[in-house]
Structure 1
Amino acid sequence: MCGIIGLVVAPGQQPPDAGVGRAMNDAIRHRGPDDEGYYRDARVLLGMRRLAIIDIAGGHQPMSADGGRIQLVFNGEIYNYRELRAELQALGREFHSASDSEVVAQAFAEWGERCFARLDGMFALAVWDRRTQTLVLARDRFGEKPLFYAHDDARLLFASELKALIEVPGLRRELDPAALRSYVRYGYVPTPASIFASVRKLPPGCYLRCSDGRIAVERYYTLDFGRRQAIGAADAEQRLAELLDRAVHSRMVADVPFGAFLSGGLDSSTVVALMTRHSSQRVRTYSIGFKEAAYNELSDARRVAEHLGTDHHELVVEPDAVGLLEQLVWYLDEPFADSSAVPTFLVSQLARTQVAMVLTGDAGDETFAGYTRYLRFLALQRLGPLKASVALAARAGASLVGGSFGYRLRGVAERMRMPFPDSYLGSVAMSRPGTVRDLLGAAVRDGYEDPLHALARGGSARHSMLDRIVELDFGSYLPDDILVKVDRMAMANSLEGRVPFLDPAVVEFVVSLPENLRVRHGRGKHILRRVAERWLPADVLAKPKQGFAIPLGQWFRGPLRPLAEDVLASRAFRERGLIDPAAARACLDDHLAGRADRGESLWLVLSLELWARRFLDAAPRA
C-alpha cells in the first residue's frame, strides 16, 4: 500500500523540478511512512510513498522492467500476482524481487494496457514508457484506490490525494460550481469531477494515456448487470461459499501483522469467520462504540468474537468532535459529509496500534443488495398507480405529525412523486432538492444537471429495477463515498484496508444470480445469509442492519453546538458565498428546537466551511 505522485511535461517544456516532486510526496507521507522513491528524466517525474506489506526488503519503488524502459509507481495490492508471475516467467521474463509491484511492471512490459484487466486487486498506478515517451495511469475496477489528475497544454499532474497536487506551483484552485452543488446534494463529489475545476478523478475501471502532451481516457472494465445464469439455490450457495472463501484467503497474504474490523453485523462477521478458517493464530479483531446505546454495537461484536475465538479489542470513545472534524477535513481532501468517517477513523486508529493491514466488510450492501433503501424503493415501485395516492396520504400525515418524524415523512412523499432515477437518488442524497436550493449561495445555485442522471442514462432500461439501482450505487455511491471513507481514514493512520466483497469473481457471480436469490421476503442479502449459516450463529444472521453512524443529533445540541454557532456567525463564512447564511442558521434553529433533525445538513455545512479554510484560504505555493 502506498501513495503515488508524478508529472509529465509536454515536449519542449522545462524538465520536472525534483523539489516539487518531494513536496508532493511529503504531503502524502501518511500513506507510506516506510519508504519513498523517485524516478526523474527530462520529461517525467514519478514518486511514491510506501507502506510495506509484501516483500518488505525487495519491494522498493519505482519498479522497472525491460532494462529500465518501463518505470512504475504503484499503490495497492494484486491478489493474483503469484499466478501472473508464473505465467510471465514461462514467457521468459526474469524477476528480481518477490513483490507484486514488479509483477505489474513486467505485465505491462509484456501486455501493455491489456494487463489491467488481468489484475485481480485494488490499485492506482502510473507507468512511464521511456521508449515511446508515454505515461499511462490506471485505476482498479471498482475504485478502491484513488487517483486525481490535472492536465493542461504544458503538463499532466497526478497523485493519490488532492493535497499533493496543491503542492505544485500554478495549480488553479477555483471551485467547480457543479461539484459544489453535487456535494450539497449527496455529501460527496461524484467522479470524474473534483471540487476544483482544474482537477479530475480517473474513473474506476479506466486508464489514461498521455502522449505528446495529449491525453485520452479508455475503459477496460464494465460490470455486466445484463448477464443472468440459470442456477439452483443449492448450487449457487455452494459456489458463493467457495468464491467468498477464496476472496478472503487471497487477501490474507501479507508479511506484516493483520486483523479485521468487526461490527457484529453480517458482513464483517462473515469476513472474520472465513479468516479464522485460514489462520493458524487467533484473528485480531477491532471494534469501537459510543456511549449512546443506539450507536453502540460492541456487545454484538463481542458475541461474534467469542463465537469465532478471535483476539478481540474494543474501545468506547468519547471523541473530541470538533478536533476530529478539523483533522478529518485534511485527510479527506474534498468536502465530504458522510459522518461515518469518524468511527472509521477511530477504529483504524485502534487497529494500527497492533497491525498494518485489516480486512473489512465494506461493499456487502452493494454486492448483495442489502441496503434498507433498496427494499423500500422496490416496495414503493410495486405500488404502481397507487403511489400518487400514498404520497398524498404521507404528505397529509407529515403535516399532522410534525417534528422530526413529520420532516422525514415529507421526504418520503416527495420522493414518491419523482420519476426515476430521482425517486431512488432521493434516498441516497443527503439533501432534498429544495434544501439544496435553499442552502446554496446565490452565485452557485443555478444551472445544475445532476451527474448521476447521466450515470442512470448510461445503464440499461432493460435491466430489472434492482439491478438499475445497484448499478447506480456501484457507479457513484460506492467509489465516491464508501471507498473514499475506507481509503482515507485507514491511510490517515498508515493502515491498509482490504475489501473481500469486491473480489471481481464474487461481484460478477452475485449480480448474475436470479433476483429471488438476492432479495427474498422483504430482506436483502438472502444468499449471503444462507451461506453464512455455515459459520455464524443465528442471532448474527437475524440482526437488523444498524450502520456505522455517530450521534450527530445529540452532538449538535452538545459538543458541536459552539462550533456551529461560531462558524455560522463568522465573517469568513458569510462572505464566502458558498452557503446561504440565513438558510444555514435556520437549519441550526430547527434542529435545536426539535422541529427537524438537521444534523446531516449541519455536518455538511461545517465540513464545507472547515475544508474551505484549510484548502482555499491557505496561500498556494509560490
Structure 2
Amino acid sequence: MEVQRHRGPDDQGIVAFRYDGTVKEAETADKLYGEGNFDGGFGFNRLSIKDLSIEGHQPMLSGNKKVILVFNGEIYNDVELRKELINKGYNFRSTTDTEVILKMYEEYGFEQMIGRLNGMFAIVIMDLRTNFLYMARDRFGIKPLYYSDIDGKIYFASELKSLIQFKGFKRELDFDAFNARIIFSRPSDKVLLKNVNMLAPGWALIVSPDGNVRRWQFWNIDHYERQNKYKNIDDAIEALDCILADAVERQLVSDVKVGCQVSGGIDSTLVSYYANKADVPNLNAGVSIVDNTQAGRIEEHYIDIVSNTLNLEEHKFRMDEEFFINNYERASWCNDAPIYKPFFLSFYLLAKQAKNYVTVLMSGEGSDETAGGYGRFAAGVFQPFMSKFNLRSGSLKSYDSYAEYEVMSDSTILGFTAKDYDNTAELIENEIDRFNEFKGSNFTKHLKYETMYRLPESCLRQDKMTMASSIENRVPLLDNDVVDFIMELPESMLLHFKEGSPLEMGDNPFEWIDGKYIYKELLARKFGHDFVYRKKGIMVFDEKTLLACTGFKTLFYNKIFPSMKRRNVIDYDHIEKLYRNLAGLNKNEFNLMWRVIGLETWCQQFID
C-alpha cells in the first residue's frame, strides 16, 4: 500500500476477513499481527474529494459488516441514486458516492448495480454472506485495475508496482506484450509482466467460493446503432449543448478545488467553457503546458484566449531539459508502463505543478476516439479507393482491408522484435480480428476499435501522471450520456466533407474532411469559426534535443545501454547506432529507438 500512497495520501485503511464472517479493521497491516490467519484482506489509500470527513473512510463496510467495498474513481449520477435509495428506506451516514455504491449493491446485487453507474471506477466487493468476490472496471478504462492469480489466490491493485510487492510474485517479462509495445506502442490490454492482467473496460470478474472465476461483460460498445433523431445538424448541436453542460456540471461536484487542463484545442476548450458556465465556487484555475517551438508559441496564444475569455486563473508551465532528465525515470515508475513519447513527461510536469492549486483536473480525453478526430479517420475514407487502384499518398498506402489499414495506421513499426521471438504476424492478425468483430460501417468499426483498444492507454497515462501528484483527473467527454449521444448520431455529423472545391481546399484530399464535426461546430458558436478551424499546432517539444542533452546521454551510456546489453533480448547494437545518429533519424527510426529505450527503463524498474 505504501508503494502507491501517492494515490491517496489523506487516509489509509485495511480490512482483513475470514470466510466465517470475521472482520478486523486496522489502519496499517502491522496492527493485524497476532490476530491469527485471515482468508483475505482489502487495503485502501484515500484521496478525499467528496465528504472529507472520516465517514468516507475505505475500505467501507455495510452496517452488518458482511459486505466490504473498495472503490477508486467517481460516480456522477450518485445524487439520483441516493434519492432512489432514500425513498426505499435507506439511511446514509456520509455524502460519498462510495456509500451509494455499497447500498446499491445491497439493494440490487452486483450485476444490476454495476449497470446503473455513470462514472469512472475500479470497484472490488467482498460479500461474506456468500463469499463471492466481485471486481469491475468502468466502460472506457478511465481507472486502472490490475489482478493476478498467485498460488491460487487473487491479488489486485490500482497500480502494477503494488502487485510485484506481494510475496511469491515472479517478475517475468511477457514477450508477447514486449513485442506489442515495440510494434504498436500502446497495446492497452497487454501487461508486460507474465501472470498479470488488466481488467478490460466494461468487464467484471466474479470469483465464487470454490475458486471458479467468471468474466462478464456488463457493457458492450456494439449495442449502439446509428439513428436519425435530429432533422439537421443545428438540432443535434442544440441537444449536444445541453448534454455537455449537464455532464460537465455533474463532474464538477467536489469538496476540493477544481481546475481545467487548457491546451487551446477543441476538447479542452469545450470542457473549460462548460465548467466556467456552471459557475461553481471551487473552480479557480486553468493549467497548461507550453513550449518554445513555433507551433508551441502559436498555441500558447490560443491558450491565453481561452483563459482570458473564461476568466480562468492561468498557470502555464514549460518543460526543459533539466526537468526531463531529473524526472524521466520517476515518471516511468509512476506510469507502470514505458513512457509513450518523451514529451509525455509534460503531463507529469503539469500535475506536479497543478497540485499547488487544485486537487481535481478536468481534461478533454475521448472525443478523438469516439467522434473521429484523428487524421487517420479522414484518411480512412479514401482507403478503399486507394486499395482498389493500389495507390499511395505519403504514409498512406494500399492495404488488403480497412481493418489492416486501421491496425497499421498509428505509428506501427515492423521488422524489430525480441531476439528469437517474432510474433508480429500473430499480433497484427489478432488486432485485425478485433476490428472485424465490431458491427457497423468501416468508420463506425474504426471508432469502436479506437475507443476500446487505444483510448484506455491514454486514460491510463492521464490517471498515472496525475495521481502521481495526488490529483484526480476527470474526463467529461466520456460521460455515459455524452458517448451515448455521439455513438448514435449519423456518421455525417462526425465526419464531414468541407464545403468548397478542391482548388479552394488545397491539394491534400485528407484535409478535405473534418473529423468530430459536431464538436467543432458547437465550439464555433462559442469561440468563433476562426478559432476552431485554424490549422492546429502540435506541441511535441524538440524531442531530439531532449535526448541529445548531456544528462540523457550520460543516462543512456552509463545505465540504459549497459543494462540493455546484459539483458540481451533485442538487437542493442542497432539501438545504440540509432542513438548515435539521433539528429538524422526519421520518424520511424526515432520511434523505434525511443520505444526500446522506454522498455529497457521499465525492465530495470519492474523486472530487475
Q: TM-score, normalised by structure 1?
A: 0.86
The AA in structure 1 aligned to 2:436 is R
- Look up the SS of the partner of 1:125 in the other structure: strand
Pick aligned residue for 2:79 from 36, 58, 82: 82
What displacement does 1:572 show?
2.4
Asked whether the equivalents of residues 173 and 607 of structure 2 are also in contact (C-alpha less than 8 Å), the reply is no
What displacement does 1:359 show?
0.6
Asked whether the equivalents of residues 561 and 572 of structure 2 are also in contact (C-alpha less than 8 Å), the reply is no
Are 2:29 and 1:52 equivalent residues in the alignment?
no
Pick aligned residue for 1:372 from 366, 375, 386: 375
Pair 96,499 (structure 1): closer, same or farther in 2 beyond 3 Å? same
- Separation of aligned partners in 2, 1:85 and 1:536: 37
- Separation of aligned partners in 2, 1:529 and 1:603: 34
Gaps of at least 5 residues in structure 1 are 1-24, 395-408, 618-622
Pair 516,278 (structure 1): closer, same or farther in 2 beyond 3 Å? same
Specify the alignment match of 1:190 in structure 2.
188
- Separation of aligned partners in 2, 1:145 and 1:334: 15
Two-structure CA RMSD over aligned residues (Å): 2.1
- Separation of aligned partners in 1, 2:177 and 2:433: 14
What displacement does 1:184 show?
0.7
Deviations 1:338-360 (A, max 9, x none): 44431111111221111100110
Specify the alignment match of 1:449 in structure 2.
427
Specify the alignment match of 1:156 in structure 2.
154
Asked whether the equivalents of residues 178 and 448 of structure 1 are also in contact (C-alpha less than 8 Å), the reply is no
Deviations 1:126-151 (A, max 9, x none): 10101111111111111100000001
What displacement does 1:559 show?
4.9
Q: TM-score, normalised by structure 2?
A: 0.88
- Separation of aligned partners in 2, 1:597 and 1:186: 12
Pick aligned residue for 1:469 from 446, 454, 457: 446
Pair 348,570 (structure 1): closer, same or farther in 2 beyond 3 Å? closer
Specify the alignment match of 2:285 in structure 1.
284
Aligned ranges 1:125-524 → 2 under 5 Å: 125-152=123-150, 154-191=152-189, 193-211=190-208, 212-224=210-222, 226-230=224-228, 231-232=230-231, 233-281=233-281, 283-296=284-297, 297-320=299-322, 321-386=324-389, 388=390, 390-391=391-392, 409=394, 411-413=395-397, 416-428=398-410, 430-434=411-415, 436-437=416-417, 440-443=418-421, 448-450=426-428, 451-460=430-439, 463-479=440-456, 481-521=457-497, 522-524=513-515
What displacement does 1:443 show?
4.5
Asked whether the equivalents of residues 290 and 539 of structure 2 are also in contact (C-alpha less than 8 Å), the reply is no
Pair 558,152 (structure 1): closer, same or farther in 2 beyond 3 Å? closer
Asked whether the equivalents of residues 347 and 466 of structure 2 are also in contact (C-alpha less than 8 Å), the reply is yes
Pair 603,560 (structure 1): closer, same or farther in 2 beyond 3 Å? farther
- Separation of aligned partners in 2, 1:560 and 1:539: 42
- Separation of aligned partners in 1, 2:518 and 2:60: 42
What displacement does 1:98 show?
1.0
Pair 560,464 (structure 1): closer, same or farther in 2 beyond 3 Å? farther
Asked whether the equivalents of residues 292 and 541 of structure 2 are also in contact (C-alpha less than 8 Å), the reply is no
Structure 1 stretch displaced more, 327-336 or 135-144? 327-336
- Look up the SS of the partner of 1:208 in the other structure: strand
Pair 466,568 (structure 1): closer, same or farther in 2 beyond 3 Å? farther
Gaps of at least 5 residues in structure 2 are 19-38, 498-512
Specify the alignment match of 1:96 in structure 2.
93
Deviations 1:410-448 (A, max 9, x none): x434xx2343322112222x44222x34xx323466784
Structure 1 stretch displaced more, 181-190 or 252-261? 181-190
The AA in structure 1 aligned to 2:455 is L
What displacement does 1:280 show?
4.9
- Look up the SS of the partner of 2:154 in the other structure: strand
Are 2:579 and 1:588 equivalent residues in the alignment?
yes
- Separation of aligned partners in 2, 1:302 and 1:229: 38
Structure 1 stretch displaced more, 260-269 or 209-218? 209-218
What displacement does 1:597 show?
6.2
Asked whether the equivalents of residues 295 and 539 of structure 2 are also in contact (C-alpha less than 8 Å), the reply is no
- Look up the SS of the partner of 1:550 in the other structure: coil
- Look up the SS of the partner of 1:449 in the other structure: helix
- Separation of aligned partners in 1, 2:550 and 2:262: 28
Asked whether the equivalents of residues 544 and 583 of structure 2 are also in contact (C-alpha less than 8 Å), the reply is no
Specify the alignment match of 2:541 in structure 1.
550
Pair 340,474 (structure 1): closer, same or farther in 2 beyond 3 Å? farther
- Separation of aligned partners in 2, 1:47 and 1:561: 38
- Separation of aligned partners in 1, 2:425 and 2:328: 31
- Separation of aligned partners in 2, 1:149 and 1:563: 36
- Separation of aligned partners in 2, 1:562 and 1:380: 41
- Separation of aligned partners in 1, 2:3 and 2:586: 43
Pair 85,539 (structure 1): closer, same or farther in 2 beyond 3 Å? same
- Separation of aligned partners in 1, 2:304 and 2:458: 24
Pair 157,525 (structure 1): closer, same or farther in 2 beyond 3 Å? same
Pair 443,533 (structure 1): closer, same or farther in 2 beyond 3 Å? closer
Asked whether the equivalents of residues 256 and 360 of structure 2 are also in contact (C-alpha less than 8 Å), the reply is yes
The AA in structure 1 aligned to 2:43 is G
Pair 377,588 (structure 1): closer, same or farther in 2 beyond 3 Å? farther
Aligned-residue identity in percent: 29
Specify the alignment match of 2:510 in structure 1.
none
Pair 324,152 (structure 1): closer, same or farther in 2 beyond 3 Å? closer
What displacement does 1:536 show?
1.8
Pair 98,572 (structure 1): closer, same or farther in 2 beyond 3 Å? same
Specify the alignment match of 1:605 in structure 2.
596
Asked whether the equivalents of residues 343 and 548 of structure 1 are also in contact (C-alpha less than 8 Å), the reply is no
- Separation of aligned partners in 2, 1:240 and 1:205: 24
Specify the alignment match of 2:529 in structure 1.
538
Deviations 1:509-529 (A, max 9, x none): 111111111111201121112
- Separation of aligned partners in 2, 1:601 and 1:595: 10
- Look up the SS of the partner of 2:120 in the other structure: strand
Pair 344,225 (structure 1): closer, same or farther in 2 beyond 3 Å? farther
Structure 1 stretch displaced more, 153-162 or 281-290? 281-290
Are 2:554 and 1:572 equivalent residues in the alignment?
no
Asked whether the equivalents of residues 229 and 513 of structure 1 are also in contact (C-alpha less than 8 Å), the reply is yes
Asked whether the equivalents of residues 590 and 596 of structure 1 are also in contact (C-alpha less than 8 Å), the reply is no
Deviations 1:236-289 (A, max 9, x none): 111111110111000000000111000011110111111111115574101121
Deviations 1:544-579 (A, max 9, x none): 344453322332343576147516984321131232
What displacement does 1:93 show?
1.8
Asked whether the equivalents of residues 177 and 444 of structure 1 are also in contact (C-alpha less than 8 Å), the reply is no
The AA in structure 1 aligned to 2:50 is I
What displacement does 1:336 show?
3.9
The AA in structure 1 aligned to 2:118 is D
Kindly report structure 1 stretches of 4+ aligned residues shifted beyond 6 Å: none
Pair 222,129 (structure 1): closer, same or farther in 2 beyond 3 Å? same
- Look up the SS of the partner of 1:288 in the other structure: strand
- Separation of aligned partners in 1, 2:517 and 2:548: 39
Aligned ranges 1:6-17 → 2 under 5 Å: none
Pair 518,596 (structure 1): closer, same or farther in 2 beyond 3 Å? closer
